[in-house]
Amino acid sequence: VQSTLKWDFYPEQRSVYVTPGETALAFFRAKNRTNKPIIGMSTYHMLPLEAGLYFNKIQCFCFDEQLLGPHEEVDMPVFFFIDPDIMDDRRMDTVDEITLTYLFGPTQSE
C-alpha cells in the first residue's frame, strides 16, 4: 500500500495451490484506517513475468476502484485459473511457483 493511502492490505492465506486448468480463489483483506471514506485502486505484478501469459483473472478487485468507508474492513477475492498450456511452454519447465502481488494507491480524485 502506498504511504499516501491509509489502508491495511494483506493476503488472507500465504499460498494457494493450483492445478492448471482448474479455477481457484484467493482472498485479500483491506481496512481503511481513517475516519473518512477513501477510494483506492490496485495494480498487480507477477513473477516470473512469463507466467502472466497463463494467469487468467476471471474476477478481481483490481478491475475496479474500491471504496472503503471509515474504518471499514472487507475481503477482496481474486477468482482465477492457470491456463493448462503452461505445461507445454518449455520456458516454464523450471517454474513451480508464481508470485502475485498488489499495490494499492489513492485514485486521481483522492
Architecture (CATH level 2) of domain 7-106: Sandwich (2.60)
Between the alpha carbon of residue 69 and those of residues 8, 11, 37, 75, 94, the distances in Å are 13, 20, 4, 14, 44
**Rounded (5°) CA angle 97-88-82:** 45
Q: What is the pTM of this model?
A: 0.85
pLDDT by residue, tens only, the chain of 110 residues? 888 899 999 999 999 999 999 999 999 999 999 999 999 999 999 999 999 999 999 999 999 999 999 999 999 999 999 999 999 999 999 999 999 999 999 886 55
- Would you list the domain boundaries of the chain? 7-106
